[in-house]
A = this chain, B = another copy of it.
Amino acid sequence: MSPAEASRPIGVFDSGVGGLTVVRALMERLPLESIVYFGDTARVPYGVKSVATIEHFTAQITDFLLQRDVKMLIIACNTMAAVAAEVVHRLARGIPVLDVIEAGARAAVSTSTGRRIGVIGTPTTINSNAYARRMHELDPSVRVYSQACPLFVPLVEEGWLDHPVTRLTAQEYLRPVLAEEVDSLVLGCTHYPLLKPLLRDVAGAGVRLIDSAVTTAELAAQRLQQEGLTRQGGAAADYRFVVSDVPLRFQTIGERFLGRSLGQVEKVDW
């Protein structure tokens, strides 16, 4: 591959701001890579929508990022990865496609010592059974225990990251999963890394938390290497943030996820 091809950006997308946790992990793991991020803030959240609607929105975003000449596509939204990954692969014209479910499932299976793995996510992700299916393909001996946690996203967006309400909610959601004595717990939603300290407390020291933002960045690094697409140097990496709406509190919430300033945000009208 030529340096020009390697200097193209990585395209990362999500239904809203949650995927910025993946961007943050990518910036840390691959500081030379440019990134163009798309967040569908006008239509968020996807986790409560039908499969047909999610497929339609996903195709539209994929086309948009392909027009931006990306060298890799990362589905940083568990809901889209769970129900519409096929759509992205079909449209990608040979460009590598990664997603948070593939990354999280691989990491969980390769590090779980007791073969008992918990998964938490939005109702759509959990009902799709995508994590359990992928983990069973990778290792048929694992037992997977899943739990939908619909209140975690609004609690994170409220900023109640360490609040008695969030703790009580986490205790209630995690109770059935912890009763199965899981050794690992996959955070199957890009909002959940912000709850890591609280979830570590509630789950206890015996449970390893799998942060799919971190595992996705790791998988991206491997895949770029394999394809000879790793950028080797040159000008500073370029970061672009594109959204379909700039809602109230967007800057505050976005920067909480990204862990730094967003800079200028571009808005598209659909």
**Residue in B50, B127, B151, B168 whose CB lies within 8 Å of A155:** B151
How many angstroms from the CA of A44 to the CA of B47 in the assembled complex? 11
A41 to B123, CA, bound (A): 16
Give the shortest distance, in Å, between A4 (CB) and chain B (any CB).
Answer: 37
In contact, A165 and B172 (Cβ under 8 angstroms): yes
> Which residues from chain B contact A96 at a C-beta distance below 8 Å?
none
A263 to nearest B CB, angstroms? 19
**Interface residues in A210-255 (C-beta closer than 8 Å to B):** 245-249
Confirm or deny: A154 has a beta carbon within 8 angstroms of a beta carbon on chain B: yes
A49 at the interface (CB under 8 A from B): yes
Interface size on A, residues (CB 8 A): 29
Point out the residues of chain B lying under 8 angstroms from A42, CB to CB: 43, 49, 53
Which B residues touch A246, using CB under 8 A? 50
- In the complex, what distance in Å separates the CA atom of A169 from the CA atom of B151? 12
Question: Which residues on B sit within 8 Å (CB–CB) of A151?
Answer: 151, 154-155, 158, 160, 165
Give the residues in chain B near A155, CB-CB below 8 Å.
Answer: 151
Verify A248–B124 contact, CB threshold 8 A: yes
B150 pairs with A157, CB closer than 8 A: yes
Q: List 7 A-B pairs, minimum CB-CB distance, nearest first.
A: A154-B154, A53-B245, A48-B247, A49-B247, A165-B168, A165-B169, A50-B245
13 contacts between A and B (CB under 8 A): A42-B43, A42-B49, A43-B43, A44-B48, A48-B247, A48-B248, A49-B247, A50-B245, A50-B248, A123-B248, A151-B155, A151-B158, A168-B168
* Interface contacts beyond A49-B247, A150-B154, A150-B158: sample of 20 additional A-B pairs, CB < 8 Å, sorted by A: A42-B43, A42-B49, A42-B53, A48-B247, A48-B248, A48-B249, A50-B245, A50-B246, A50-B247, A53-B247, A123-B248, A124-B248, A151-B154, A151-B158, A151-B160, A153-B154, A165-B168, A165-B169, A165-B172, A168-B168
